[in-house]
């Protein structure tokens, strides 16, 4: 086989996730069931081999919890906003497709940023330019350049939050310099 072996440490988050799903589906978190789930997880990960996700090597839980809470608050606020737009503005709603260049070139962070932005109502990722790591985002109710700037800032703030949670050290220090400047 020519494919590169990935280390167990790199694979561990995936295996843990598979075991959690196994336990949740059986609704049984006893040691025997989890052990059997772990066995199946290893077999599945070996048989159905996928390209490994390149993790940044760090995960900051203290940053992740507030990020998740802010995310949930944003989802609630934006859901009601879209509801309001649907009822009041309706067919006269003005949107825009905005290009947002991201700082990071890691696939994981670009994907995570796109996901978080897509989950917050009011913005959909239309196109991704991987070579320049630019997201093209369709934002609803973006009526002028000021609104577009606001959307751009929100996307870049989201990315900054994700870098603080799980970006590489190089990305983190670059972000700190940018904020400090």
Partner 1 sequence: MSPETISADAVIDTVSAVFMVVGALMSLGAAIGLLRFPDLMSRMHAATKPQVLGLFLLLCAVGLQLRTWWVWPVLVVAWIFQLLTVPVSAHMVGRAGYRTKHLHPELLSADELEAVVQQAAGKRGFTDDDE
Residue 3 or 48: the one with the smaller Cβ distance to partner 1 is 48
| Other C-beta atoms lying within 10 Å of the C-beta of residue 166 | 20
Write down the least CB distance from residue 1 to partner 1, Å.
29
Write down the least CB distance from residue 90 to partner 1, Å.
4
Write down the least CB distance from residue 174 to partner 1, Å.
24
Residues lying near partner 1 in the complex (CB under 8 A)? 20-21, 23-25, 27-29, 72, 75-76, 78-79, 82-83, 85-87, 90-99, 114-115, 118-127, 129, 136, 138, 140, 142-145, 147-148
Cα 114 from Cα 118, distance rounded (Å): 6
Write down the least CB distance from residue 25 to partner 1, Å.
7
Residue 12 or 21: the one with the smaller Cβ distance to partner 1 is 21
| Long-range contact set of residues 140-148: C-beta below 8 Å, sequence gap at least 24 | 140/82, 140/85, 140/93, 140/95, 141/81, 141/85, 141/89, 141/93, 141/94, 141/95, 142/94, 142/95, 142/96, 142/98, 143/94, 143/96, 147/96, 148/96, 148/98
Segment holding 70, helix H or strand E: helix 61-84
Residue 69 or 94: the one with the smaller Cβ distance to partner 1 is 94
Write down the least CB distance from residue 67 to partner 1, Å.
14
Residue 14 or 96: the one with the smaller Cβ distance to partner 1 is 96
């Amino acid at each position: 086989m020519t494919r590169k072996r990935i280390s167990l440490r790199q694979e561990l988050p995936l295996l843990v996730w598979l075991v959690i799903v196994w336990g949740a589906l059986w609704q049984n978190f006893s040691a025997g069931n989890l052990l059997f789930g772990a066995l199946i997880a290893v077999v599945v990960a070996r048989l159905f081999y996928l390209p490994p996700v390149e993790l940044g090597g760090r995960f900051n839980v203290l940053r992740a919890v507030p990020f998740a809470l802010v995310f949930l608050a944003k989802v609630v606020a934006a859901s009601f906003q879209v509801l309001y737009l649907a009822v009041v503005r309706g067919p006269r709603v003005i949107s825009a497709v905005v290009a947002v260049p991201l700082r990071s070139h890691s696939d994981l962070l670009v994907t995570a940023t796109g996901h978080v932005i897509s989950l917050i109502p009011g913005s959909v990722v239309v196109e991704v330019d991987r070579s320049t790591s630019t997201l093209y985002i369709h934002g609803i109710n973006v009526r002028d350049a000021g609104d577009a700037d606001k959307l751009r800032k929100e996307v870049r703030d989201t990315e900054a939050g994700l870098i603080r949670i799980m970006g590489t050290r190089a990305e983190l220090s670059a972000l700190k310099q940018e904020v400090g400047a």
